[in-house]
Structure 1
Amino acid sequence: MSTLPLLAPLRRVTTDVLEVAYYETGSPDGDTVVLLHGFPYDIHSYVDVAPLLAEGGFRVIVPHLRGHGPTRFLSDSLPRSGQQAALGADVIALLDALGIERAYLAGYDWGGRAATVAAALWPERVLGLVCVNGYLIQDIGAAMNPISPELEAGFWYFYYFLTERGRTGLAADPRGVARVIWKRNSPVWAFGEAELERAAEAFTNPDYVDVVIHSYRHRLGLAPGADAYADLEARLAGLPPITVPTVTLDGTADGNFPATDGSSTAHHFIGPRLHLQVADAGHNMPQERPEAFAAAVRDVRALRRGHPRHDCLTG
């Protein structure tokens, strides 16, 4: 049995669509930060970040995303959508259910996308944004435009999941799929089987496969979105700007997303923005470099309070 630390016990709250399982720590009177995990990962990406932020006075909320862990849909009739609008709407619904008017949002991969969508569409609810790999709203209209073959190779699972063979493969061995993705995403991260096994507990959710498959088919324009999110997706198609204070991060050891200076996405951020490269960090940055990720949350709070770092970029 694993002796790795766990984010436990979990709490549960009901939104309009989900019963969300989440971990909470820190001061109930502090600024709230919601930490959002990616795919194929789970809340334990933040096992070291959460206590660092709690010690810094934050109220820390770490939810399992739809289709992960103990989070459950409220009805069998609800579509198991993994589209970006659904992920962003889930964040705002969680804030509503917890009675939180405004919060900092921080994430990577799916979680970074959920946070970016929420910040773009509901800026009045977001105090600040921390996101790995910059502006993550998907331009689905341009989804069929190719990228370099070297980068395409790292996204093998995008295309695998378009097939019924891919759906069957994910259902049969979600941990094996995750292991391959982890190695490519973070080539210098020496994770062990215990870390993978801990995360894989979240993949036993009965809706995991449906949500994941829909996410990748929708983003490539090959599956329709759920009707409930049609208006939100229409707004996201315009690639709305981010107006809230933002810290974007790139890991210099990210196997799929080469680190940049942030200039290529600068036009998407029209509020104060700080872009940083984190040495030796792969795609799962909060688990690989928790001190750097926690520092980024503190940095965005400083931006919010009008105390930007000297290298802050202002739109």
Structure 2
Amino acid sequence: MTNLPIRRVTTDLLEVAYHEAGPADGRPVVLLHGFPYDIHSYADVAPMLANSGYRVIVPYLRGHGPTRFLSPATPRSGQQAALGADVIALLDALQIPSAILAGYDWGGRAACVAAALHPERVSGLVSVNGYLIQDIAASANPLPAELEAGFWYFFYFLTERGRAGLTANRREIAEVIWRRNSPKWTFGDAELDRAAAAFDNPDYVDVVIHSYRHRLGRALGAQEYAAAEAALAQLPPIGVPTVTLDGTADGNFPATDGSAGAAHFTGRRVHRQVHDAGHNLPQEAPEAFADAIREVSR
């Protein structure tokens, strides 16, 4: 399996490394990966969409792969507002007025944040597991025990032992999470090694640790995102055309009929279940993910 070729563009805070495919004048689609994954979650989706005439952009998120902060003084924040702001900054840098955003996990959250706060920049949304804006005020409310067990790393990363563990065992932690997240996905060392190369980023640990501590109310956010986080605390609606997806074999997020989060989507929205797909849905079921993008673009 070959690595996707990358380009680079400079935003206000980052040099963003990204893969691009398809015609330059095609309808833009930004595909956003999760944690602990990388852009190769879209290794099959990207050419499918490119062949359908879309301009496909697949960036490495902050703290991943060759994406780098421009200044050592910039807080290595992993909070949701930062991830959403990075998407809008990327569109600005590429001079794209609006795009379809699609993602899962961290990438789905970034897409939801951008769609809620900057709907004029988002022509459509595909989000795995529905509405992913974090309700930080409710983060102390417990989940059912079986679900809590799957989120062991949330609590591990609250500790300095967890920081040391992530520093030393990036690939190994990813493998444990992958197997729990996607119990029916048969992946090998090659897929894991390819993604794990993205975890060698010098800011990976800081960004990841901050992300999980912030979402559980155990770390302050960066001041530049205070206004955005205040808006996100209201759980703003998403009014852009949307397709939400659930994998029926997602080990941490059981598939639903989509009704629980329906009130957060005020525009045209369709919910689909993808049979036997796990949490890394675009890599496990690329055709279904590509079809969702085609559907929302209509």
Aligning the two structures, in what range does the TM-score lie when normalised by the shorter sequence? Answer: over 0.9
1:287 and 1:162 map into 2 onto residues whose CA distance is 29
1:15 deviates by: 0.4
What is residue 59 of structure 2 aligned with on the other side? 63
Aligned residue number for residue 180 of structure 1: 176
> In the alignment, residue 241 of structure 2 is paired with which amino acid?
P
Cα distance in 1 for partners of 2:272, 2:60 equals: 27
Q: TM-score, normalised by structure 2?
A: 1.00
Equivalent residue of 2:126, what SS?
A: strand
The corresponding residue for 1:84 is 80
| TM, length-normalised to structure 1 | 0.94
SS in 2 for 1:248: strand
> Which residue of 19, 25, 33 maps to 2:21?
25
Number of the residue aligned with 2:254:
258
Per the TM alignment, residue 5 of structure 1 is displaced from its structure 2 partner at its CA by: 2.8
Q: How much has 1:178 moved relative to structure 2?
A: 0.1
CA distance in 2, matches of 1:254, 1:199: 19
Alignment of 1:1-315 (within 5 A): 4-8=1-5, 10-302=6-298
The whole-number CA distance in structure 1 between the counterparts of 2:24 and 2:237 is 31
Name the SS for the 1:263 alignment partner: coil
SS at match of 1:264: coil
Separation in structure 2 between the aligned mates of residue 134 and residue 299 of structure 1, nearest angstrom = 16
**Separation in 1, partners of 2:169, 2:223:** 31
Counterpart residue type for residue 160 of structure 2:
E
Aligned residues: 298
**What is the letter of the counterpart of residue 23 of structure 1?**
H
Give the distance between the partners of 1:238 and 1:276, measured in 2 at CA: 26
Q: Which amino acid aligns with 2:286?
A: P
The residue identity in structure 1 corresponding to 2:232 is L
**Letter of the structure 2 residue corresponding to residue 46 of structure 1:** Y
Distance of 1:115 and 1:191 partners within structure 2: 26
Q: Confirm or deny: 8 A CA contact 1:23 1:61 kept in the other structure.
A: yes
For each residue in 1:217-256, what CA deviation from the matched residue of structure 2 results, as whole angstroms up to 9, or x when unmatched?
A: 0000000000010000000000000000000000000000
Cα distance in 1 between the residues matched to 2:129 and 2:4: 25
Please give the alpha-carbon distance, in whole angstroms, between the structure 1 residues aligned to 2:210 and 2:103. 21
8 A contact 1:139–1:239 mirrored in 2: yes
2:126, 2:3 → 1: CA distance?
Answer: 23
How far residue 96 of structure 1 moved from its aligned partner, in angstroms, is 0.1
Contact 1:34 1:105 in 2 (8 A): yes
CA distance in 1, matches of 2:244, 2:209: 27
CA distance in 2, matches of 1:280, 1:5: 26
- Whole-Å separation in 2 of the counterparts to 1:254 and 1:158: 17
Contact 1:130 1:297 in 2 (8 A): yes
- Quote the Cα distance in structure 1 between the aligned partners of 2:52 and 2:266: 28
How far apart in 1 are the matches of 2:32 and 2:281? 12
Q: Runs ≥4 in structure 1, deviation > 4 angstroms? A: none
Whether contact under 8 Å (1:5, 1:47) holds in the other structure is no
RMSD over aligned Cα atoms: 0.4
1:7 shift after superposition? 1.1
Partner letter of residue 217 of structure 1?
R
Note the C-alpha offset of 1:6. Answer: 1.9
Partner AA of 1:174 in structure 2: R
Residue 305 of structure 1 corresponds to none
